[in-house]
A = this chain, B = another copy of it.
């Protein structure tokens, strides 16, 4: 990358996937998924009350199976918070950075923000009558998935420009909040903000209660994520680092507003994550968590700070409870949140911890039932 201001497409900017994405989309199965979701939900309520809540009281990482990943976290935190130890780190330098898509919440079959963009085309259509016969909007409006699958970057740029700019930041935040209230994930048929990983929420709280300042460092939109980060993760807007588009200060009827322009400003992905961490935080993370090649440089940058630090990668290897994709370790390939073999190799070489969702997490979502073989601490 020639620098953070290199010419990236608007598509890359917002973490929205390339033209081949839709070919990999699973078919919707709304009814079956709704039924499964409801059953899980009810079962979850009962079991949560009976056992999981009690677990959580005793074990702040109750959704993690005992194993190397969990032990690595606990050892690290104990070590850097032990004021009498040689590896003690002052609270002000306890910075932990988390990727969002695929690390804190579900990113398949398509990034949440891409779904927002597509849905928003439908919402805006009545005020754009020409869209019905104008590509790429016509394909979206007629739900022509084959055509959508063939969208190129220029198409996606038009979609993002039409759905993410041309309004004030306040208006945009309002649109995102409204959408999140009603939108449902096509597979789980639940609000996107409930599709957050319970083990990662526990990890956030565990770090926060140990004096860490937790940040989201996402390739997705900074403003988009800020609308729910505090409610969902306990991470306030000022601790969300993300991609952004150009905004312009202007006067509107005697009142200033920040107008969102159809042009990328900062791409917080890949090497941009290291740049963004330095730009927005000005401190090196002590711990960093990701799940895909877009997080590689964030983990490298963290580790290069020296001393005891923690780098972890979530691997999606649980097709039964969530999704399975890599292509590392023989998992199915994907264009969304790719975990390539080269990243796995780098993790091995650098002793980064790879978290197996299947083996390391006894629960994926807070609404899901805890496993029958509960990891009750002795």
- A residues with a Cβ closer than 8 A to B are 1-5, 92, 169, 213, 222-223, 226, 230, 236-238, 240, 244, 246-249, 255-256, 258, 261, 263, 265, 271-272, 274-275, 278-283, 297, 300-301, 304
A261 contact from B3, B230, B240, B244, Cβ within 8 A = B3
The minimal Cβ–Cβ distance linking A298 to chain B, given in whole angstroms, is 10
Q: Known contacts A256-B274, A304-B256; is A237 also within 8 Å of B4 by CB?
A: no
B238 near A278 with CB under 8 A, answer no
Which residue of chain B lies nearest to A301 when distances are taken between CB atoms in the complex? Answer: B256
Q: Known contacts A238-B283, A249-B271, A275-B247; is A255 also within 8 Å of B1 by CB?
A: no
A237, A240, A265, A279: which has the most chain B beta carbons within 10 Å? A279
Q: Known contacts A237-B282, A238-B280; is A297 also within 8 Å of B247 by CB?
A: no
B281 near A248 with CB under 8 A, answer no
A282 near B249 with CB under 8 A, answer no
The minimal Cβ–Cβ distance linking A114 to chain B, given in whole angstroms, is 22
Seed contacts A237-B283, A244-B279; 10 additional CB < 8 Å A-B pairs: A1-B248, A2-B248, A3-B261, A5-B246, A5-B263, A247-B275, A249-B271, A249-B274, A249-B301, A255-B304
Q: How far is the CA of A343 from the CA of B151 in the complex (A)?
A: 50
Which residue of chain B lies nearest to A249 when distances are taken between CB atoms in the complex? Answer: B271
Q: Could you write out 19 A-B pairs with CB less than 8 Å apart?
A: A2-B248, A3-B248, A3-B261, A4-B246, A4-B247, A4-B265, A169-B278, A222-B282, A223-B282, A226-B282, A237-B281, A237-B283, A244-B279, A247-B278, A248-B271, A248-B275, A249-B271, A249-B301, A258-B275
* Overall SS of chain A's interface: mixed
The minimal Cβ–Cβ distance linking A179 to chain B, given in whole angstroms, is 19
A265 contact from B5, B222, B236, B244, Cβ within 8 A = B5
Q: Known contacts A274-B258, A275-B247; is A240 also within 8 Å of B282 by CB?
A: yes
Q: Which B residues are in CB contact (< 8 Å) with A236?
A: 92
Q: Which B residues are in CB contact (< 8 Å) with A244?
A: 279
Q: How far is the CA of A230 from the CA of B3 in the complex (A)?
A: 29
Q: How far is the CA of A297 from the CA of B255 in the complex (A)?
A: 11
Which residue of chain B lies nearest to A282 when distances are taken between CB atoms in the complex? Answer: B237
Q: Which B residues are in CB contact (< 8 Å) with A247?
A: 3-4, 275, 278-279
Q: How far is the CA of A52 from the CA of B169 in the complex (A)?
A: 46
Which residue of chain B lies nearest to A270 when distances are taken between CB atoms in the complex? Answer: B249
Which residue of chain B lies nearest to A279 when distances are taken between CB atoms in the complex? Answer: B244
Which residue of chain B lies nearest to A271 when distances are taken between CB atoms in the complex? Answer: B249
Q: Which B residues are in CB contact (< 8 Å) with A279?
A: 222, 244, 247
A238 near B282 with CB under 8 A, answer yes
B238 near A281 with CB under 8 A, answer yes
Q: How far is the CA of A246 from the CA of B237 in the complex (A)?
A: 24
Q: Which B residues are in CB contact (< 8 Å) with A278?
A: 169, 247, 258
B301 near A246 with CB under 8 A, answer no
A3 near B256 with CB under 8 A, answer no
The minimal Cβ–Cβ distance linking A130 to chain B, given in whole angstroms, is 27
A3, A226, A297: which has the most chain B beta carbons within 10 Å? A3
A222, A278, A283: which has the most chain B beta carbons within 10 Å? A278
The minimal Cβ–Cβ distance linking A335 to chain B, given in whole angstroms, is 23
